[in-house]
Amino acid sequence: MAGLPYIVGNWKMNGTRAMLNEARAIDRAAARFPKVQVGIAPPATLIHRMRESVDLIGIGGQDCHVEENGAYTGDLSAPMLKDAGADFTIVGHSERREYHAENDAHVNAKAQAALSSGLAVILCVGETEAQRDAGDAEGIVTAQLEGSCPIVDGAPEKLSVAYEPVWAIGTGRVPSVEDVAAMHKAIRAKLVAIYGDAGADVRILYGGSVKAENAAELLAVPEVGGALVGGASLTAESFLAIVGAAVSLVD
């Protein structure tokens, strides 16, 4: 596993100020888990308040624009996320790729913009069900990496990749541990091909219906360095159960 296990919650378009209580509870618990890195990507409207409410956990955006500023109504730039208190941002989530027509070139530029602004990046890749059924899953995911991985000077220390099969997101379905292992191995090989030795240190997260019941099994798979969690990150109770599974693997 490259670095500490990293458990990240993606709140998507969920959460108003009342939900900061969940973040506070997660932050308090994080003090007991120094060997696990924890982050939450709330809606952008909560980044600043969350920054003022927590001490230990990382806070992230869910997307960023490629430009620093300009006439892009409704968008947020990486420097703005940073200014609001974000430490990282997700880019290339399948919901952005699908509903906002983002392709690998956009994702690459967004990752580049985020890293240039000092944000860490979680870059998402993953195949659709039809692509997996056609036997193309590894080819699709490695092609996504080829197109979306930012070219950085030196080691991409602030880059994590999240493998999220599109058909597993929010569906309660998860790939077999064998399929997760095979895909993470293929992703690792591609990262080493892109970045050389530094590619061995890029953290690869698994995402897609991670819950308390399956977290330990998924996190124990070789090359799984953590989890990107959607639905189960919305309450401290369900999210901390997943963090607890990571703790039990490193303790």
- Name the minimum Å distance from CB 140 to ligand PEP: 17
Q: Which of 95, 102, 138, 164 is catalytic?
A: 164
Active-site residue (options: 93, 102, 106, 184): 93
Closest approach of Cβ 154 to ligand PEP, in Å? Answer: 28
Q: Establish whether 164 is a catalytic residue.
A: yes
Q: Which is nearer to ligand PEP, 199 or 230 (CB)?
A: 230
Binding site for ligand PEP (CB under 6 A): 10, 164, 169-170, 207-210, 228-232
Q: Which residue is nearest to ligand PEP (CB)?
A: 230
Nearer to ligand PEP, 7 or 149 (CB): 7
Active site residue 93: yes
Shorter beta-carbon distance to ligand PEP: residue 199 or 231: 231
The CA distance from 13 to 15, in Å, is 7
Enzyme catalytic residues: 93, 164
